[in-house]
A and B are shown apart, each in its own frame.
Chain A
Amino acid sequence: MPKKRIIKFNEAINEAMVTAMNLNKKVLCFGLGVDDPKRIFNTTKNLKEKFGSDRVFDTPTSENAMTGVGIGMSLKGYYPVMVHQRLDFFLLAMDQLVNSAAKWHYMFGGQQNIPITIRLIVGRGWGQGPTHSQSLHSWFAHIPGLKVVMPSSARDAKGLLLSSIFDKNPVIFIEHRWLHNTTSEVPVKKYLTPISKPKIIKKGSDITLICISYMTIEAIRAVDFLEKENVSVEIIDLRTISPINYSIINNSIKKTGRFLVLDIGNEKYGVASEIISTITIKLYKYLKNPPNKITLPHIPTPTSFGLTKDFYPTYRDIIFEVLKMLKKKTLKNKIPVLKNLHDVPGNWFTGPF
C-alpha cells in the first residue's frame, strides 16, 4: 500500500489553488496580500511564480469594488478566487455580494452565472477582539443564491475548494484560522468533494453531534472521555452550511434520537438554531431529548485575556452537555483540562495575527 500523505490545511488550500489554476486558465486569484511575503498564511504560496501576475495579483484596499470586479470577470467566463485575511474586512463588500453576486442569476432569468469563490478567514485568539474574529457565516447562509462552505479538515479543504471554484454559483468559503495548522491525509490527485453533503466522521449510537468548522476538532477531542463514560457519539462534520442536504443527518438522528449542534458563531439567529428547527419540525417523533446547541455567547468578542477565558466553548463544554443530555452524572473536575493557554491553538501560534 502506498504511504498516506499527511499535509496541513493551509497546504491543502494551496494545493487546491495550484490544481485549479492548472486545470483552467480562467481561474484567477486576487486579494490584499495574495503575493506578499506571507502569502495569506502560505495558502497562496508560489501562485504568482507559477501563473503570473495577470492571474494572481494584489489589490488596493477596496473590498467592495474588488468584489464587483470579480463579478464582472465571472460574467466573461472567469473563475475568480478572492481572499480576505479576515472575514471582518469583507463586510465592506456586502452590497456587491448580496445585491449583485447572489442575485444576478435569478434577476436576469437564469441567463448568467457568477462562479466566484470568496475565501474568508475567521480569526481567533491573541486578542483578535470585536472586529477581527467574527464568525458571520449565518449572515451569508441567510442569503438565497449563495453557497457557504466551511471545511474542518485538510482533505476536505482541498476537495471542497476545488468544488467551490468550479461551482456555477458564488461560494463563500470560510477557513477558521486555527485549522490552518491541522493535518490530515490528503490525496495528491485532483478530487472534488461534493458541496452540501455532510460527512459522518465517527459512528455512534447515543447522540449525534452536528459540527461546524473548528468545532469538529473540539468534538473529536471529546470522544475519548465520553467513550470511557460509556457514551457512544456520532460525529457529523457539516462541511457546508448552505444549502444542506439533510439525508445523512436525518438518518443519524433517526438512529440516535438525540442531537447537539456545535457552531463557531454567536448563539442567536444562527445556523445552529436553523438546523435545530429544521430537524425538530421534521423528526419530532424520533427525538428522545430536546435538542441543544453549543455556540459562542451572544456578545461581541472581547479582547482581554481575562475576558476571553470562557468565551470559546471547548471539548469540556461538549462533554458536559452530552452527559447532561444523557442524564449521566459527572464531576466537572474529572474532565481533563486544557493544555494550552485558552487564547492560542498551540505553540505554533504566537500572535499577533
Chain B
Amino acid sequence: MVLIRVVEEMIANKYRENKMRCPTHLCTGQEAISSAVSANLKIQDTVVSTHRSHGHYLGKGGNVDKMIAEIYGKSSGCSKGYGGSMHLIDLNVNFMGSTAIVGNSMPIGIGLGLSSKLENYNNISCVYFGEGCTEEGIFHESVNFAITKKLPVLFVCENNLYSVYSGLNVRQPKNRKIHKMVEGMGIKSFNGDGNNVIDVYKLTNKAVKYIKQNNKPAFLEFKTYRWREHCGPNYDNDIGYRTEKEYLDWKKKDPIKNYIKFLTNKNIFKLEYLKRIDKSIISKSIKAFNFAEKSKFPSKNDATKNVYA
C-alpha cells in the first residue's frame, strides 16, 4: 500500500519534467484495494486490469523498476516502451496485462478463468475494473459467461464514483448497487469499504474461499475515491465536476493513515518500525526512477519489430 502511494506520488511530482510522455492514470487514494486483494492472491493467480493499473501491478508484485521505465518509454520497461503507463505486464508474477479501452481486458480475464477450469481450477483469475466498465455491454456478457460456465474468476470493481469527469448521476440510476445487480445475474457478491484495508482483506478472503470451495466466480465491489485528476499529475477539484469538500472528506478516509493509526493504537507495530519500512520503500522507489532515467530509449528501428510473432 505504501509502495503504491509513494510511487504514484513520485510520478505526480516528476510528471511535469515532461519525461514521462504518455497518458498516465494515478490511483492515489485507492491503494487499499489493490494491496489487500493481492494479499489474497497466490503467485500463480492471474490478474488483468485497466488504464488505472499501477496499483494492481505493484500489488501483485510487479517489478517497480520496469514499471517506471515503461512510463519513461525506455527499452528496459515492462513492455519495452511499446505500451506506456496504460499497458503494463509482468509475467513473472502472472500480471497478464492492463489495457486502455474500458471493458477491454474483462473478457480476457474470463478466458484466463476458463483455462484455469480446464486445468482443474488450479488458479484464480482476478479482473480489476472501474464502475464505468459496468455500463459496457461486454461487462454483462462477461459476467454472464463466467457464471454460466462456473469459472474461477474474482471480479474486483473499484467504484470511485467518476468516469473521467462524469459523475454516477448521469450514468447510472440513483441507488444502483452494482453488487446487487450482478447478484441478480446469479453471481456471489460482496460489498465493502475500499478505503479500509482490513475490510478489503477480509472480504476478498471470503470471496476467494468461496471461489475455491464452489468452483464458481465471485464479485467484489469497493467504494473508493481517486485523489488526483482522471489522467495526469494534478488535482482538479477546482474545475467543477466535484468539490474540494468531497475530496477532503475522502482524504480523511486515507487508507494508509487510518491503517497506521490502527496498527499503532493497537500496539501491533511501533511507529518507529513503520517509519523504517517507509524509508526502505522510498529508497526502492527512488532507485526505480534512477533506473528509468538511466535506461536507454528503444531505437526508432525497433518500432517495426513485434508486429507479428
Residues of A within 8 A of B136 (CB): 61-63, 92
Q: Are A57 and B82 in contact (CB under 8 A)?
A: no
With A32-B164, A352-B23 known as contacts, the answer to whether A127 contacts B84 (CB < 8 A) is yes
Quick check: B300 and A353 within 8 Å, CB to CB? Answer: no
**Set of chain A residues within 8 Å of B23, measured between Cβ atoms:** 126-128, 132, 351-353
Which one of B27-35, B99-107, B196-204 is at the A interface? B99-107
Q: A36-B165, A350-B18 are in contact. Are A131 and B99 (CB under 8 A)?
A: yes
Residue contact B307 to A299, C-beta cutoff 8 Å: yes
Please tell me which one of the listed residues B24, B99, B303, B307 contacts residue A307 in the complex, with CB atoms under 8 A apart.
Answer: B303
Within 8 A of B (CB), among A109-166: 126-132
List which B97-133 residues lie within 8 A (CB) of chain A: 99-104, 132-133
Q: State which of B36-44, B60-68, B73-81, B259-267 sits at the interface with chain A.
A: B73-81
The answer to whether the Cβ of A51 comes within 8 Å of any Cβ in the partner chain is no
Question: How long is the Cα–Cα vector from A341 to B280 in the complex, in angstroms?
Answer: 37
Query: Residue of A at shortest CB range from B138?
Result: A92
| Smallest CB gap from A342: residue in B | B300
Chain A residues within an 8 Å CB radius of B235: none
Q: Which of A298-328 contact B (CB under 8 A)?
A: 298-300, 302-311
- Residue pair A307, B81 in contact (C-beta under 8 Å): yes
Q: Are A305 and B83 in contact (CB under 8 A)?
A: no
Among A64, A306, A309, A350, the one with the most B-chain Cβ atoms within 10 Å of its Cβ is A306
Q: Find out whether the CB atom of A37 lies under 8 angstroms from the CB atom of B300.
A: no
**Quick check: is A6 within 8 A (CB to CB) of the other chain?**
no
Is there contact, CB below 8 Å, between A37 and B101? Answer: no
Residue A33, interface by CB 8 Å:
yes
Task: Evaluate contact between A130 and B87: CB separation under 8 angstroms.
Answer: yes
Size class of the contact patch on chain B: 35 or more
Given the complex of chains A and B, what is the CA–CA distance between A101 and B296 in angstroms?
Answer: 48
CB–CB B135/A309 < 8 A: no
Q: Are A309 and B300 in contact (CB under 8 A)?
A: yes
CB <8 Å contact, A130 and B81: no
Q: Which residues of B contact A37 (CB under 8 A)?
A: 165, 236, 239-241
Residue of B nearest to A36 (CB): B165
Assuming A127-B22, A132-B23, A352-B22, is B298 touching A304 (CB within 8 A)?
yes
A187 within 8 A of B: no
Q: Flag whether A229 is at the interface (Cβ < 8 A).
A: no
Residues of A within 8 Å of B236, CB to CB, are 37
Q: Which A residues touch B104, using CB under 8 A?
A: 131
Q: Verify A61–B82 contact, CB threshold 8 A.
A: no
Contact across chains for B83 and A130 when beta carbons are under 8 A apart: yes
B294 within 8 A of A: no
A residues apposed to B, CB below 8 Å: 32-33, 36-38, 57-65, 88-89, 91-92, 126-132, 297-300, 302-311, 343, 350-353
- What are 22 A-B contacts defined by CB distance under 8 Å? A33-B164, A36-B164, A36-B241, A37-B239, A59-B171, A62-B135, A62-B136, A62-B137, A63-B136, A126-B23, A130-B82, A131-B87, A297-B303, A303-B81, A306-B73, A307-B297, A309-B300, A311-B300, A351-B232, A352-B23, A352-B232, A353-B232
Q: List the 6 shortest-distance A-B pairs measured between CB atoms, nearest first.
A: A306-B297, A127-B22, A304-B81, A304-B73, A303-B84, A36-B165
Q: B residues near A, CB below 8 A?
A: 15, 18, 21-24, 73-75, 77, 79, 81-87, 99-104, 132-133, 135-138, 163-166, 170-172, 231-232, 236, 239-241, 296-300, 302-304, 307
Apart from A129-B84, A129-B87, what 9 extra A-B contacts exist at CB < 8 Å?
Answer: A38-B239, A58-B170, A62-B136, A92-B138, A307-B73, A311-B303, A343-B21, A352-B23, A352-B24
